[in-house]
């Protein structure tokens, strides 16, 4: 029995050792488990911190992107030295004045043709194209009504000229034409309607005389094709050569100070200018048509009317035609006025009225920021003296000092006329740093 007890004591001692070992193993396992858990916890925390940092950085980047300034888009167009964010280069020149002696030089096989082939005036205008392409908006002045296609045609004193003139104006690149002149009522309401419909069919914008009263109340607003901004265009004539239209709204007027309609004419022009700005025009120009002819100064009506228009503050530039002569350029209280652009194209006149054969094309550069009122101004005016012939043939011809297409009349006559027009242009003190002769070959 003692042996049996002894065996029992031996077994009891061995079980105690095993318990100690088990405890040790358990503690080690627990330590390992805690260590592994701690490691995973640390890794998870680091990953979470990295995710948070990444998310924060991404959020900041997105926030920066959302609040980053939008790059300013500039539209300098064809302006030679645009000094601001946006510019518009406006080309204007004098009357398109057609007599039979001019249009007969460009007749087709059948002048009674109604398909647009009765005349082809493209060669007459062709040299002008490079100057129009160096501008953003080109505006002509249609002195007279047009006949129906095929005629009949008539010249001075009651004009009815071939409608193919409008086709050539389109082909050379004119964007718009004014037609408030002393000859606007030569063919009555039918003549106004024919001119309106002909220009519209050729895709040329227009203002000055109207088919409907509703049309007469709307200003012409033109988007610059190069994106620089919008031009509002107004027109007005002092006279209808003693004729009276069937309604006063038919033709935009700027009657003299002794006419009872004078004040209302000014107000009508200002109202249209204001409406043009309401429709988004950044700049507004007005074309004045005078009737005192063949002079080299601004007549009393031109000065009084232009100054009164300028004093309203409604216009950024004022320019004129009608006298068939080049006239001065003036800066009046901050508003630039080009008093007379002569004739763009015309039949040759006699020596007594030789200035009729001369013209001026002007490129007016406006600078500012599209849609920002008060930011726009005239920053430059380029003027180009022109002849109505080249080497004996009727052709618009530049007589600037760079001779871009060679001599027009002759080297000597070209130089004499250029100097005469130079003297006229600067006779009212125009700043030569702003008003410059246009030498296109130097651009």
**Which pair of structure tokens corresponds to residue 405?**
């297409």
pLDDT for 309? 98
Whole-angstrom distance, CA of residue 384 vs CA of residue 152: 35
> In the chain, helix, strand, coil percent, each to 5?
40, 25, 40
Q: What is the mean pLDDT of residues 124-137?
A: 98
Q: Checking DSSP bridges between strand 393-398 and strand 343-345, what pairing results, if any? A: unpaired
Q: Strand pairing partners for 335? A: 332
pLDDT for 52? 46
pLDDT for 66? 59
Q: Is pLDDT at 4 greater than 90 in this prediction?
A: no
Q: What is the mean pLDDT of residues 10-28?
A: 44
pTM of the predicted model, to two decimals?
Answer: 0.85
Whole-angstrom distance, CA of residue 227 vs CA of residue 233: 17
pLDDT for 71? 65
Whole-angstrom distance, CA of residue 78 vs CA of residue 320: 23
For 89-442, which CATH superfamily applies? Metallo-dependent phosphatases (3.60.21.10)
Q: Is pLDDT at 273 greater than 80 in this prediction?
A: yes
**Average pLDDT for the chain:** 89
Q: Is pLDDT at 138 greater than 50 in this prediction?
A: yes
Q: What is the mean pLDDT of residues 19-32?
A: 47
Q: What is the mean pLDDT of residues 101-123?
A: 98
pLDDT digits (tens, 9 = 90+) for 290-348: 999 999 999 999 999 999 999 999 999 999 999 999 999 999 999 999 999 999 999 99
**Which pair of structure tokens corresponds to residue 368?**
């500012």
Q: Checking DSSP bridges between strand 220-223 and strand 230-237, what pairing results, if any? A: antiparallel
Q: In this structure, what DSSP letter does residue 68 have?
A: S
Q: In this structure, what DSSP letter does residue 118 have?
A: S
Are the C-beta atoms of 321 and 287 separated by less than 8 Å? yes
Extents of the domains making up the chain: 89-442
Q: In this structure, what DSSP letter does residue 352 have?
A: G
Q: Checking DSSP bridges between strand 377-390 and strand 86-96, what pairing results, if any? A: unpaired
pLDDT for 55? 47
Q: What is the mean pLDDT of residues 237-245?
A: 98
pLDDT for 73? 85
**Which pair of structure tokens corresponds to residue 47?**
């990953």
pLDDT for 68? 58
Percentage of residues in the chain with pLDDT exceeding 90? Answer: 84
CA dihedral 415, 416, 421, 422 (to 10 degrees): 60
Residues sharing a CB contact under 8 Å with residue 360, sequence separation 6 or more, in sequence order: 93, 94, 326, 338, 340, 341, 342, 383, 384, 385, 386, 421, 425
pLDDT for 70? 60
pLDDT for 166? 98
Band (pLDDT 50/70/90 cuts) for residue 50 is low
pLDDT digits (tens, 9 = 90+) for 388-438: 999 999 999 999 999 999 999 999 999 999 999 999 999 999 999 999 999
pLDDT for 390? 98
Are the C-beta atoms of 306 and 288 separated by less than 8 Å? yes
pLDDT digits (tens, 9 = 90+) for 199-211: 999 999 999 999 9
pLDDT digits (tens, 9 = 90+) for 70-95: 666 899 999 999 999 999 999 999 99
Band (pLDDT 50/70/90 cuts) for residue 63 is low
Q: Is pLDDT at 64 greater than 60 in this prediction?
A: no
Whole-angstrom distance, CA of residue 363 vs CA of residue 331: 16
34-38, 154-158, 307-311: least confidently modelled range:
34-38
Q: What is the mean pLDDT of residues 137-147?
A: 98
Classify residue 371 as exposed, middle or buried by CB count within 10 Å of its CB (0-12, 13-18, 19+).
Answer: exposed
pLDDT digits (tens, 9 = 90+) for 381-399: 999 999 999 999 999 999 9
Whole-angstrom distance, CA of residue 360 vs CA of residue 382: 10
pLDDT for 21? 46
Q: What is the mean pLDDT of residues 349-372?
A: 97
């Amino acid at each position: 029995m003692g042996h049996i007890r002894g065996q029992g004591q031996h077994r009891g001692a061995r079980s105690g050792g095993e318990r100690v070992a088990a405890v040790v193993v358990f503690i080690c396992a627990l330590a390992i488990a805690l260590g592994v858990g701690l490691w995973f916890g640390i890794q998870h925390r680091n990953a979470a911190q990295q995710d948070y940092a990444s998310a924060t950085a991404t959020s900041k980047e997105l926030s920066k992107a959302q609040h980053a300034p939008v790059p300013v888009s500039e539209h300098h167009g064809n302006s030679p030295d645009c000094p601001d964010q946006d510019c518009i280069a406006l080309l204007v020149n004098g009357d398109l004045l057609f007599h039979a002696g001019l249009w007969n030089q460009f007749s087709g096989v059948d002048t009674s043709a109604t398909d647009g082939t009765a005349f082809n005036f493209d060669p007459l205008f062709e040299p002008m194209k490079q100057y129009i392409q160096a501008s953003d908006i080109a505006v002509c002045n249609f002195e007279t009504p047009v006949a129906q296609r095929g005629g009949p045609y008539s010249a001075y004193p009651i004009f009815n000229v071939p409608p193919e003139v409008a086709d050539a104006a389109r082909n050379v690149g004119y964007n718009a034409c004014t037609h408030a002149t002393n000859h606007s009522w030569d063919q009555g309401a039918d003549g106004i309607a024919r001119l309106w419909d002909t220009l519209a069919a050729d895709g040329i914008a227009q203002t000055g005389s109207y088919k409907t009263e509703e049309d007469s109340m709307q200003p012409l607003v033109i988007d610059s094709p190069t994106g620089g901004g919008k031009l509002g265009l107004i027109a007005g004539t002092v006279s209808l050569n003693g004729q009276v239209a069937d309604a006063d709204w038919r033709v935009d007027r700027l009657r003299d100070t002794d006419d009872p309609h004078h004040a209302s004419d000014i107000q009508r022009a200002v109202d249209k200018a204001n409406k043009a700005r309401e429709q988004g025009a950044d700049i507004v120009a007005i074309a004045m048509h005078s009737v005192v002819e063949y002079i080299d100064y601004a007549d009393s009506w031109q000065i009084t009317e232009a100054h009164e228009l300028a004093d309203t503050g409604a216009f950024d530039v004022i320019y004129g035609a009608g006298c068939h002569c080049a006239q001065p350029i003036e800066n009046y209280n901050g508003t630039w006025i080009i008093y007379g652009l002569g004739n763009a194209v015309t039949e040759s006149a006699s020596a007594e009225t030789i200035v009729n054969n001369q013209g001026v094309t002007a490129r007016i550069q406006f600078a500012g920021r599209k849609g920002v009122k008060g930011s726009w101004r005239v920053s430059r005016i380029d003027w180009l003296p022109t002849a109505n012939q080249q080497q004996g043939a009727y052709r618009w011809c530049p007589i600037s000092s760079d001779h871009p297409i060679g001599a027009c009349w002759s080297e000597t006559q070209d130089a004499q006329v250029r100097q005469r027009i130079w003297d006229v242009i600067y006779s009212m003190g125009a700043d030569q740093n702003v008003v410059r002769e246009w030498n296109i070959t130097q651009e």
